[in-house]
Amino acid sequence: MKVVAVRVLRVLLVLLALAFCAYSVASQWDAAVHAFQQMSWVALVAALAAGLAGLFVWMLGWREFLGGLGSPLPVRAIFRISGISQLGKYVPGKVWALVTQIEMTREHDVPPERSFGSTMLAVATSTACGLAVAAVTLPLTSVAAREQYWYLFLLAPLLLILLHPRIVSWSLGLMLKVIRRPPLERPVSLAVTLRAIGWTVLGWILFGVHTWLLCNAVGGDGKGLPFLATGAYALAFVAGFLVFIAPGGIGAREAALTVVLTPALPAGAPVVVAIASRVLLTAADLLVAGAALLLGRTTPGPGNEPPSKELVRGTHPTKEGP
């Protein structure tokens, strides 16, 4: 009965997320059509492909953390879980993607604390690396970014330091204790952290290519444009993420992107880029989710079997979670 209820809830969540996706696109439809008319189809398709590649690479970063915590899953399973659960970010509150992801990883016998821990690590890594990318690329290319978002640049080195495995293990242990879940069986290693950071930074580069292609399509030029576009998107994404209520960071991301790109693009072009980017990346999320649904459920990979109750009781004499 519980399994049926969870599946029904998941379907309802996906439908709700699709409704918010449709609303976000429909609310900007006229502006999006106008934006697309100013760009070639080659540029739009290439930008969409770069966005899809960035999403896939970020999935691999999450996979590194999940495997490092003791639940290695095949790429196909990771693609399905992440592709479907990430629709939850379009629902106000930003917790629905996490809830869906935890429930879907249960199908592969992943303990909830590992799924929770790996997701928190992935979010922290993408935020820290995003700010680091912006801190490296924007101060030399954007006066507007330095003046309006200087305080975010100061967070970058601090957040990168906080990704050290010892600090991460202590923080996750504290969070799991607060929510009354068993502690993790093993901490994440430095090698796993570095590999995940590598995938995450590659993802930021691909999203930078996505933004640069759009900027180039509306008349942007200059040797510094690729760096500006990469830093602008990274900063805009983090700004959108920090606005907790806005689904998918809508509004905040576009505002930050427009501010940073305004000095480098023709008049009106930054808004065009921001709208085109939003629509294309929403389409990318929907394409990934659709492909993930077509894959169907996969069986747990080797080594993903949950620890036996006897082992859990012997190692962690705490009350078992639901």
Q: Express each pLDDT in 85-117 by its tens digit.
A: 888 787 766 677 888 888 889 888 898 888 888
Of 39 and 297, the structure prediction assigns the larger pLDDT to 39
- Region of poorest pLDDT, from 113-117, 203-207, 227-231: 113-117
- Region of poorest pLDDT, from 22-31, 42-51, 138-147, 298-307: 298-307
Q: What is the mean pLDDT of residues 266-275?
A: 87
Measuring CA to CA, which residue among 106, 173, 162, 102 is closest to residue 132?
A: 162
Q: What is the mean pLDDT of residues 141-146?
A: 72
The pLDDT of residue 287: 92
| Contact yes or no for 124/162 (Cβ under 8 A) | yes
| Contact yes or no for 148/259 (Cβ under 8 A) | yes
Q: Is a pLDDT exceeding 80 seen at residue 197? A: yes
Of 92 and 24, the structure prediction assigns the larger pLDDT to 92
| Contact yes or no for 126/29 (Cβ under 8 A) | no
Q: Is a pLDDT exceeding 60 seen at residue 56? A: yes
- Counting residues of the chain whose pLDDT is more than 90, the rounded percentage is 25
- What's the mean pLDDT when you consider all of the chain? 79
Task: Kindly report the number of other CB atoms within 10 A of residue 9's CB atom.
Answer: 13
- Region of poorest pLDDT, from 50-64, 123-137, 249-263: 249-263
Q: What is the mean pLDDT of residues 278-294?
A: 90
316, HSE (Cβ side, Cα atoms, 13 Å):
18
Encoded amino acid at 32, one letter? A
pLDDT-based confidence at residue 244 (cuts at 50, 70, 90):
low
pLDDT-based confidence at residue 288 (cuts at 50, 70, 90):
very high
Q: What is the mean pLDDT of residues 25-54?
A: 82
DSSP percent split of the chain into helix, strand, coil, nearest 5? 75, 0, 25
Q: Which tokens in the block code for residue 61? A: 């970063």
pLDDT-based confidence at residue 248 (cuts at 50, 70, 90):
low
The pLDDT of residue 28: 61
d(CA 62, CA 105): 12
314: left (phi over 0), alpha (psi -120 to 50) or beta: alpha
Encoded amino acid at 208, one letter? G
Q: Which tokens in the block code for residue 121? A: 């690590």
| Contact yes or no for 86/67 (Cβ under 8 A) | no
